[in-house]
Structures are given as structure tokens and as C-alpha cells.
Amino acid sequence: MIKYGKSREGKESEEWLEKLVDITRVAKVIKGGRHFAFRVLVVVGDGKGKVGYALGKAKEIPEAVNKANQLAKKNLFSVPLRETTIPHEIIGHYGAAKVLLKPASKGTGVIANKAVKAMCECAGIRDILTKCLKTTNPLNVLKAVAKGFVGFKA
């Protein structure tokens, strides 16, 4: 069971790796003009196989990041690991996004685009080869990687 918040000593009960993947300014057009807000995509993980991602929206960036971090910690899922990589090849699909994830030998590093790299590093994967096919939209790519990991049978 994962605990959130603070322990009796006042320290964080668990250490989280938090990566900011994407910041987008969005606008709502109304009669009097435009109202701007920010949409933030965040990945959170413990570096030991648990990872989650979320979108947060607010008028200010720090508020949006806080919202996304809290949501990501609620929506964690586990990623099977074999030492520093994944056990076998995976292909994740979501919408037009298709992501190929291949295990790599020790010392290779994380060869991936920004969104996939953030998710792999937060999950604790140190050596992996990836390729984004069709689209590189960060949200759809993260969803494809998550579907690949969740449907993953080690």
C-alpha cells in the first residue's frame, strides 16, 4: 500500500520523481475577449516500478502542476522490470499514437522522446530503446506507453 502525506517525523513518507512533460497555453473565447489558462502534463513515479501521469489545468502554471501531481499520484500503475530494463518488446497503441518499446543491454540509457523518457525514468527503467510511430503528441504518446505497460504480461 502506498501512503501519501507526511509521517510522524514530518518528512515525506515516500520519495517521488516528478517530471514536467508539457506546458500548453489554452484560451477560452467569450463575449468580452479571451480567457487564458495553462494545461500541464506531469509524470510521477517512485523509481521502483510504480508510475502515473496526469493533466492539470489552472490560470497559473504552479497551480496546474500541483493539480497534476496530486492526480498522477492517485493514478499509479506498476511496470514490470528486469534489472534496469523491460523483459521483452512492447507495442502500445492509443488513438493515432503507436510506441515501440524494446529492452536494451546495460549501459545503453533511455533512447526516447521527451514524454516516453520522463515515464521510463520515473518508473525506474534505465536502459530502453523506443520509437514513436505516426504521432509525437505528448499526451497520446504517454497514453500509448501506459496502455503498453498495463497490458504487459511478464
For residue range 47-105, what is the model confidence (pLDDT) as tens digits?
Answer: 999 999 999 999 999 999 999 999 999 999 999 899 999 999 999 999 999 999 999 99
Sequential DSSP letters for 92-148:
EEETTEEEEEEE--TT--EE--HHHHHHHHHHT--SEEEEEES---HHHHHHHHHHH
| pTM of the shown model | 0.86
pLDDT reading at 8 higher than 50 = no
Contact 39, 24 (CB under 8 A): yes
Shared-domain flag, residues 84 and 70? no
Shared-domain flag, residues 83 and 69? no
Q: Per the structure block, which three cell numbers stand in for 12?
A: 515525506
Question: Which structural domain range is residue 65 located in?
Answer: 17-77
Q: How far, rounded to the nearest angstrom, does the alpha carbon of residue 117 sit from its chain's CA centroid?
A: 9
Shared-domain flag, residues 144 and 122? yes
* Residues 100, 86, 65: CA angle, nearest 5 degrees: 75
Question: What pLDDT digit, counting tens, does each position of 76-91 carry?
Answer: 999 989 999 999 999 9
Shared-domain flag, residues 63 and 124? no
Determine the pLDDT at residue 1: 41
Look at the chain and report how many structural domains it folds into.
2
pLDDT reading at 9 higher than 90 = no
